[in-house]
Amino acid sequence: MKLFQRFSKKTEKEFKSLDTKEEPKTRSLYSSLEQNIKVINEKIGKSDDVVIRKIKVGQVRDITSGIIYIDGLVDTQEINDFILESLMFDLHNSEQDSSDSDLLHSIKDSAVAVGSIQDLDNYESLFSFLFSGHVIILFDGSSKGLIVGISSGGKDRNVTEPSQEAVVRGPKEAFTETLRTNTALIRRKINSPNLWIETRKIGRVTQTAVSIMYIKGIVNEKVLMEVRERLSQIDVDAILESNYIEELIQDKTFSPFPTMFNTERPDVVSAGLLEGRVAILVNGTPFVLLVPSLFIEFFHAAEDHYQRWDFSTLIRFLRIICFFIALLAPSLFVAITTYHQEMIPTPLLISLAAQREGVPFPAFIEALLMEVTFEILREGGIRMPKSVGQAISIVGTLVIGTAAVEAGIISAAMVIVVAITAIASFVVPAHNMSISIRMLRFIFMALAASFGLFGITAAFIGLILHLCSLRSFGIPYMSPFGPFILKDQKDSLFRIPHWALNTRPRLISQQNVKRNQTSSPKPSTE
């Protein structure tokens, strides 16, 4: 008796009565290999990168199998070594009577020497795994197949140093565009079975793999449930970068401030997970999202925990000062020189008046011209090749600033203010927070030109009220300042020694709050 009846009555009936109205993606596989290949070709449009290869299984029986994979997504050498050669040997005694499941189990258990093998019985799973870089094995006369996971093919970017978050001391590795590489980088730092990963496909067309990562027993369960709920409600055709996810699940859509933290450093994500946060990783991007995020965290750098605590505290205060300089310096200059000249010492006022004697524009237009010019130079320097981009931005700023002062269009004091403002904006570690400051700066300048210091004060109060109204996945954005939590001040503006960081943030991690049992180091008595 043959192991498979390739064209049984059931198969012939299926072959003749193909229901074209039924979506092939959601139905079960056919018993006929030819019919299954026909459906696959119709679904993918006979794409050239889809390889379909037929081979005979075993040395005795006349059983045909189909090997299907995407060229470039899998390692073809492993297919030749571990799949094709294995299937060419006879799996059973020629006289043994076996069923379909017996053959599949024999292949899974002994024939195909790869790590991951799963059963397959429908087209939905077939296309999902096929385009995820798996190999599909179908058999003539069987309505079931196998999903074989092997090494990925093509070229992946190696783990390199971070391009945006460089540090003097600390790990020199950054995420890549491959999801499994990114999860592995985090697992190397957190060797715990409680580090859990949940992966789902988002995007009707792209079917992008999106993973959420958290530490069971430490994560805030309410935040985790909220992340799952928001991700499940996404219904778009494409997810190409983590910003797609960020814009679709963030709390406030029209706020200039980011309510989700993104980073390219595995150590930053690991530290966030250990505090009870949830990481969201998207296949195809080297930037990982961390939620919930707080306002003060955008002024922290990974290096803060790799340097002495007193030096890190000083640098954090410097970043806060630079935040206010980048936000308020041009508007304060415009307001004081336009409406409140009595606040300026007389010698300095005379010097400023002498500089502005030939300037044809009011202070607001002067500041606006310089700010817009600098933004153009900064954006142009980013888009140009790296070999000339930095030189163009620096030389362009010097040449244009000097020429504008000599031509009498801009005063020298305004050039100094704009230059200090630009440099201060670069001190903020988080790029997205720096962008928010750059946008708000123009609003403060306009109000300063219209109402003077009163306009700046009103805008600043409105800014504080807006920040206090924000939440990140249910957590107050201004925590631990509003609401004020004394225990969480240990790693906010200040960074106290590691032996004193014995609790996790109260609002973020509401279970397993104790993180450090180490007491203060005592001097030796010897």
Residue entry with tokens 């123009």: 442
In order of 40, 217, 239, 240, the CA distances from 264 in angstroms are 38, 25, 18, 16
Asked whether residue 493 is domain-assigned, the answer is no
Percent of the chain residues topping a pLDDT of 90: 36
Whether 271 maps to a domain, the answer reads yes
Helix (H, G, I), strand (E, B) or coil at 133: coil
Mean pLDDT of 91-95: 44
In a domain, 516, yes or no: no
- Judge whether 213 lies within some domain: yes
Q: Is the pLDDT of residue 10 over 50?
A: no
Average per-residue pLDDT in the chain?
83
What is d(CA 102, CA 1) in angstroms, rounded to the nearest whole number?
15
Residue 117 phi/psi, 5° resolution? -135, 130
pLDDT at position 524:
52
Best-predicted range by mean pLDDT among 157-161, 395-399, 415-419, 458-462?
458-462
Burial class (CB in 10 A: 0-12, 13-18, 19+), 521: exposed
* pLDDT (average), residues 393-400: 70
The answer to whether residues 347 and 443 belong to one domain is: yes
- What pLDDT score does 19 carry? 44
CA 252 to chain centre: 19
Write the CA distances from 299 to 321, 322, 494, 520, integer angstroms.
Answer: 11, 10, 11, 27
Cα separation, 67 vs 341, in Å, equals: 81
- Residue at 266 is within a domain: yes
Q: For the chain, what is the domain count?
A: 3
Does a structural domain hold residue 2?
no
pLDDT mean over 497-519? 77
* HSE, side-chain direction, 13 A CA sphere, residue 32: 17
Domain boundary among 435, 461, 476: 476
404 in the same domain as 288? no
If asked whether residues 366 and 283 sit together in one domain, one would say no
Task: Reduce the DSSP state of residue 288 to 3 states and report it.
Answer: strand
Per-residue pLDDT, averaged over 337-342, amounts to: 90
For 185-201, what is the mean pLDDT? Answer: 91
Q: Which residue has the higher pLDDT, 67 or 9?
A: 67
Q: Report the amino acid identity of residue 438.
A: R
Structural tokens at position 216: 């069971």
Q: Judge if 369 and 472 occupy the same domain.
A: yes
Tokens of 456: 């700046």
Lowest mean pLDDT among 140-154, 162-176, 426-440, 459-473: 140-154
Q: Quick one: pLDDT at residue 412?
A: 87
Rounded to whole angstroms, the Cα distance separating 183 from 195 reads 10
Q: What angle do CA 497, 301, 379 make, to 5 degrees?
A: 165
**Quick one: average pLDDT of 24-38?**
82
> For residue 209, what are the β-bridge partners?
201
Compute the distance between CA of residue 163 and CA of residue 185 in angstroms, rounded to an integer: 17
Altogether, the residues listed in the chain come to a count of 526
Which of 293, 309, 335 marks a domain boundary?
293
Residue 9: CB atoms within 10 Å: 8
Which position has the higher pLDDT, 73 or 433? 433
User: Is a pLDDT exceeding 50 seen at residue 180?
Assistant: yes
Q: Are residues 343 and 472 in the same domain?
A: yes
Instruction: Using the predicted structure, report yes or no on whether residue 176 has a pLDDT greater than 60.
Output: yes
Q: Do 343 and 286 share a domain, yes or no?
A: no
| pLDDT tens, position by position, 461-477 | 999 999 999 999 989 99
Does the pLDDT of residue 220 top 80, yes or no? yes
The mean per-residue pLDDT over the stretch 110-134 comes to: 79
Lowest-confidence range among 133-137, 209-213, 222-226? 133-137
Mean pLDDT value across residues 328-354: 90
Domain with 358 in it: 322-476
Query: Maximum Cα–Cα distance for the chain, whole Å?
Result: 109
Average pLDDT score over residue span 429-433 = 90
- What single-letter amino acid sits at 456? I
280 and 326 within one domain = no
pLDDT one-digit tens code per residue, 230-269 = 999 999 999 999 999 999 999 877 889 999 999 999 999 9
pLDDT at position 364 is: 92
Q: Name the strand (E) or helix (H) holding 329.
A: helix 309-339
190 and 142 in one domain? no
Average pLDDT over residues 438-467: 94
* pLDDT-based confidence at residue 198 (cuts at 50, 70, 90): very high
Instruction: Give the pLDDT mean for 132-156.
Output: 81
Residue 186: is its pLDDT beyond 90?
A: yes
Q: Which two tokens stand for residue 361?
A: 């524009």
Give the integer Cα–Cα distance in Å for 139 and 30.
10
- Does pLDDT of 276 surpass 80? yes
d(CA 250, CA 241): 15
In a domain, 487, yes or no: no
Residue 458 has pLDDT above 50, yes or no: yes
pLDDT of residue 81: 73
- pLDDT of 91 > 70? The answer is no
285/347 same-domain check:
no
Q: Are residues 380 and 442 in the same domain?
A: yes
Q: Which of 175, 170, 193, 195 is nearest to 185 (CA)?
A: 175
Would you say residue 1 has pLDDT above 90?
no
Q: What count of other Cβ atoms lies within 10 Å of the Cβ of residue 407?
A: 10
Q: What is the pLDDT of residue 294?
A: 93
Cβ-in-10-Å burial (0-12, 13-18, 19+) of 164 comes to middle
Identify whether residues 141 and 204 lie together within a single domain: no
Interatomic CA distance for residues 267 and 327, integer angstroms: 30
**Ordered alpha helix ranges (H), 123-178:** 123-130
Summarize the confidence of residues 511-516 as an average pLDDT.
Answer: 75
Please give the average per-residue pLDDT across 44-61, as a whole number. Answer: 78
Does any domain span residue 314? no
Please report the pLDDT score of residue 11 as a whole number: 43
Residue 134 confidence (pLDDT) above 90: no
pLDDT band at 421 (very low <50, low <70, confident <90, very high): very high
Inform me whether the pLDDT recorded for 369 exceeds 70.
yes
Give pLDDT, residue 144. 86
pLDDT attached to residue 58:
65
Range 130-160 burial, b when 16+ CB lie within 10 A, else e? bebbbbbbbbbbbbbbbbbbbebbeeeeebe
344 by Cβ neighbours in 10 Å (0-12 / 13-18 / 19+) ranks as: middle
Is the pTM value of this prediction over 0.95? no
Query: What is the pLDDT, as a whole number, of residue 317?
Result: 94
Q: Could you say which of 293, 314, 333 is where a domain stops?
A: 293
Are residues 255 and 340 both part of a single domain? Answer: no
Give the C-alpha distances (Å, rounded to integers) separating 180 from 244, 311, 348, 350: 20, 36, 61, 64
CA dihedral 499, 502, 508, 512 (to 10 degrees): 140
